[in-house]
Amino acid sequence: VSSSSDFQQDRHSFSGSPQKWNDFELPGDTLYYRFTSDMSNTEWGYKFTVTAGHLGRFQTGFEILKQMLSEERVVPHLPLAKIWEWQVGVACRQIGHQRLKAIHLLLKIVQCSSQRDCDLTLLKPLWQLFTHMENNLCHDVSKPGILLPLHRALAELFFVTENRVTELGSLQEYLLALNTEDHLHRCTAQ
């Protein structure tokens, strides 16, 4: 197996039992393979699976989705509701820079979605994280009020999302869906 037709670049050769085969990656979008039998056996040969991209690699998925969401002619053809649901789950599971990138994609989806493409109530876990960060910022008056990157990203996401639901005329339903009953009672009492 190679990434060039002359079998000189990124060459991987295998022979013998399946246990001797290892997973490997080839750069590019094309692979070349050659199967040669020594006729010493009457079995059918080898079976292998080719998977495009880096399966399970966050950065690859991020770059692809970011590019697709940046192309105005592509966006109408995307299943935004499914992408939204998946991406909210990614943002909830990831940490650090990967969470920031996931939130960046959520922001792009909110900005390019039309009408009710996305179930914005799925943001509830991220809203709880944001309100927790807000409460900690308000209670800790000894530290300067500089927002952490995650806090800034969530603030922007919820600012844009609130504007979006206001345009759609569903702000009340959105706010009720994101908050717990206990939180609503505390706000009402205040």
Sign, CA torsion 97/99/102/106:
negative
Of residues 60 and 105, the one with the higher pLDDT is: 105
Model confidence, pTM: 0.64
Average pLDDT taken over every residue of the chain: 83
pLDDT at 141 over 70: no
Q: Under DSSP, is residue 32 helix (H, G, I), strand (E, B) or coil? A: strand
Which is nearest to 45 in space by CA: 35, 54, 30?
A: 35
Q: For residues 143 and 106, what is the distance between their CA atoms, to the nearest angstrom?
A: 30
pLDDT digits (tens, 9 = 90+) for 46-96: 777 877 765 557 777 888 899 999 999 999 899 999 999 999 999 998 888
- What is the per-residue pLDDT for 156? 94
Confidence category of residue 145, pLDDT binned at 50, 70, 90: low
